[in-house]
């Protein structure tokens, strides 16, 4: 095939590169659209999860929290530890 006239010439190779560029551009556009759709769905899911979290907190607060709702004896509440600001850290050294 490569021995036939017209193959492997600079014009032929340039045309192949242009065709390849067009295919790559189409694929990139499809991937971009898919990622945008995933981002939109992710934002909607995050909103729904946050709303469910708020509703669950509200319902459990009325019953005394998880411990009160399920009558747990060995229950402890874990609060997130806030990191010290850098200025406080520097004052200790």
Asked, for residue 1, whether it belongs to a domain, the answer is no
Asked, for residue 41, whether it belongs to a domain, the answer is yes
DSSP code of residue 32: H
Segments forming the whole domain that contains residue 66:
10-91
Q: How far is Cα 85 from Cα 93, in angstroms, rounded to an integer?
A: 14
What are 4's two structure tokens?
A: 């036939």
Mean pLDDT of 67-82: 64
What are 25's two structure tokens?
A: 């551009």
Asked, for residue 47, whether it belongs to a domain, the answer is yes
Mean pLDDT of 9-37: 93
Q: What is the pTM of this model?
A: 0.54
Asked, for residue 82, whether it belongs to a domain, the answer is yes
Asked, for residue 2, whether it belongs to a domain, the answer is no
* pLDDT tens by residue, 33-70: 999 999 999 999 999 999 998 888 888 888 777 777 77
Asked, for residue 70, whether it belongs to a domain, the answer is yes
How many domains is the chain built from?
A: 1
């Amino acid at each position: 095939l490569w021995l036939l006239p017209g193959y492997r010439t600079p014009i032929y190779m340039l045309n192949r590169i242009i065709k390849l560029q067009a295919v790559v551009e189409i694929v990139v556009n499809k991937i971009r659209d898919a990622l945008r759709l995933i981002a939109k769905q992710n934002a909607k899911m995050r909103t729904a999860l946050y709303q469910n979290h708020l509703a669950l907190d509200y319902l459990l607060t009325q019953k005394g929290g998880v411990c009160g709702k399920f009558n747990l004896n060995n229950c402890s509440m874990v609060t997130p530890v806030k990191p010290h600001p850098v200025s406080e850290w520097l004052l200790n050294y």
